[in-house]
Amino acid sequence: MIMKQQLKRAAVAAVAAAAVALGLPAQAQQWPSKAVRIVVPFGAGGGTDIQGRLLGQKFQASLGQNFLVDNRPGAAGLIGAELVAKSPGDGYNILFTTASLAVNIPLYGKRVNFDPYNDLVPVSWISSVPLVLVVHPSVPAKNLKEFLALVKKSGRMNAAHNGTGTTSHLSIEMLKLFGGMNITPVPYKGGGPALVGQISGETDFTFATALAAQPFIKSGKVRPLAVTTAKPASIFPNLPTMKSVYPEFESDNWYAMFFSKGTPKDIVSKLNSEILKALKAPDVNEFIRREGGEPVGSTPEELMTYFKRESEKYAKVIKAANIRSD
C-alpha cells in the first residue's frame, strides 16, 4: 500500500513537473477535460448564435473537447448572463454576449440579480459591428453635415429604433443629447420592422446595423450618412463617424466572452489565446466581416476596462433621456 501511494505521488509530481517545464500551469494543461458550455443569451440562428458556434468549432478542433452552444434567450440577454454568473467557476461555463449587457446594467438597475463586474470574468472582446445612420430618400440631405443642419432647422423629426434600450434607440438619444435636437423616437419590435418603417416613409431616419441596412442602401431605398463606431468602418469606408461631429458619440454592437466568477486565471489565459488564434482563421474573419463587423480580440483587462466604460456611457444617456425598461 505504501509503495502504491509513493508511486501515485511520484506520478502526480511528474505531471506537475512536465507542466512547469512547458511553462503552463497544471490547471490549464488539464482544461478542458470534458465538454464546455457556451451560453448564448439569444435565440438560435442570429448573429450571436452563429458566431458562437463558429468559435466553438475552432476551440473544439484545437482543444479536443466539445464546445456546445446553449441558447438561453430572454430579458434582453440577462437570463443567459445570470445563468453563467451563478454557475461554478470551473472553466466549463462561458457567456458569449453583446453590448446589450452594458446597456442592461443601468437600464434594469436593481432588477439585475447578479454583479456583472464581480460575478463575470472577462476573457476577450471578439468583434464590433457598427450602426449606420440612414435616411429616407425624401429627406433632402446628401451628407451628415446637411442632415444635422436640417434636423436643427426643422425642429422635429421621427426616428425608428429596434426597441427600448437597444443600441439603435440609445444612438437616437445620443443625437438628441449631444446635438440638442428635437427628435421623436419611434419604437418597433426589432431591427427588421424598424427598417420596414423607415423604407415605407413612416420615419425620417434610423440607426440600423450595418448588415441589415446594406441591401437597402444598395437598392437606394435608404441613404447612408454616417457610422457610429469610433473609427470609420471597413464596410462603409467613405462614411464619416458621428464621433467626428460629437466627440462623445460612439455606439456599436460588440461581442465578448466571459467566464463565471472564480475561474482560474490560467484557464482564462488559455481561452484568450484560443480566441485570438480563432479570430485569425480565414473563415471566422470572413464571417465577421461579412456580417459588417471588425474582428477585435483583446486581453481580459482591456475587455473589463471597455465593459465598464460602456456601462457608464449608456448610464448617462439612459438617465438624461429618462428611459425606463418595460
Render pLDDT for 48-69 as a digit per residue (tens, 0 to 9): 898 999 999 999 999 999 999 9
**34-38, 123-127, 231-235, 237-241 — which is least confidently predicted?**
231-235
Residue 67 neighbours by CB under 8 Å, 6+ apart: 35, 36, 37, 38, 55, 56, 57, 59, 60, 94
Kindly compute the dihedral angle of the four CA atoms of residues 254, 257, 259, 264, in this order, to the nearest 10 degrees: -120
- Given this model, what pLDDT does residue 75 score? 85
Would the pLDDT of 12 be above 50?
no
CA 17, 22, 28, 30 dihedral sign is negative
- Given this model, what pLDDT does residue 155 score? 75
Boundaries of every domain in the chain: 2-129+252-321, 130-244
- Fold: same for 2-129+252-321 and 130-244: yes
How many alpha carbons lie under 13 Å from residue 70 in its C-beta half-sphere? 16
Residue 7 neighbours by CB under 8 Å, 6+ apart: none
Would the pLDDT of 246 be above 90?
yes
- Given this model, what pLDDT does residue 164 score? 86
- Given this model, what pLDDT does residue 21 score? 46
> Which residues are 134's β-sheet partners?
206, 224
pLDDT: which is higher, 21 or 54 = 54
Give buried/exposed letters for 282-309 (b at 16+ CB in 10 A, else e).
eebeebbeebbbbbbbbebeebbebbee
- Given this model, what pLDDT does residue 296 score? 95
**17-31, 75-89, 190-204, 275-289 — which is least confidently predicted?**
17-31
Task: Give the highest mean pLDDT range of 39-48, 190-199, 260-269.
Answer: 260-269
- Given this model, what pLDDT does residue 17 score? 45
- Given this model, what pLDDT does residue 183 score? 95
For the segment 215-223, the average pLDDT, to the nearest whole number, is 94
- Given this model, what pLDDT does residue 3 score? 43
Is the distance from CB of 169 to CB of 214 less than 8 angstroms?
A: no
**91-95, 146-150, 191-195, 309-313 — which is least confidently predicted?**
191-195
The string of pLDDT tens digits covering residues 92-151 is 999 999 999 999 999 999 899 999 999 999 999 999 999 999 999 999 999 999 999 999
For residue 168, which of 197, 206, 212, 142 has the smallest C-alpha distance?
206
CA angle (310, 50, 222) in 5-degree steps: 70
Would the pLDDT of 163 be above 90?
no
Residue type, 106: P
Would the pLDDT of 18 be above 60?
no
The string of pLDDT tens digits covering residues 39-50 is 999 888 888 898
- Residue 206 is classified by DSSP as E
CATH 3.40.718.10 fits 2-129+252-321, yes or no: no
**20-24, 97-101, 269-273 — which is least confidently predicted?**
20-24
> Which residues are 120's β-sheet partners?
260
Residue 140 neighbours by CB under 8 Å, 6+ apart: 146, 150
Would the pLDDT of 22 be above 70?
no
**3-7, 186-190, 290-294, 314-318 — which is least confidently predicted?**
3-7
C-alpha distance across the termini of the chain, in Å: 66
CATH 3.30.365.10 fits 130-244, yes or no: no
- Given this model, what pLDDT does residue 25 score? 56
Average pLDDT, the chain: 90
State the pLDDT confidence band at 326, using cuts at 50, 70 and 90.
low
Grid cell 451560453 — which residue?
39
Residue 128 neighbours by CB under 8 Å, 6+ apart: 229, 252, 253, 254, 255, 293, 294, 296
Give buried/exposed letters for 67-85 (b at 16+ CB in 10 A, else e).
bebebbbebbbbebbbbbb
Q: Report the share of the chain in percent with pLDDT over 70.
A: 91
State how far the Cα of 130 lies from the Cα of 251, in Å rounded to an integer: 7
Q: Report the share of the chain in percent with pLDDT over 90.
A: 76
> Which residues are 161's β-sheet partners?
187
Is the distance from CB of 319 to CB of 165 less than 8 angstroms?
A: no
State the pLDDT confidence band at 204, using cuts at 50, 70 and 90.
very high
* Helices within 90-166 (DSSP H only): 100-108, 116-119, 144-154
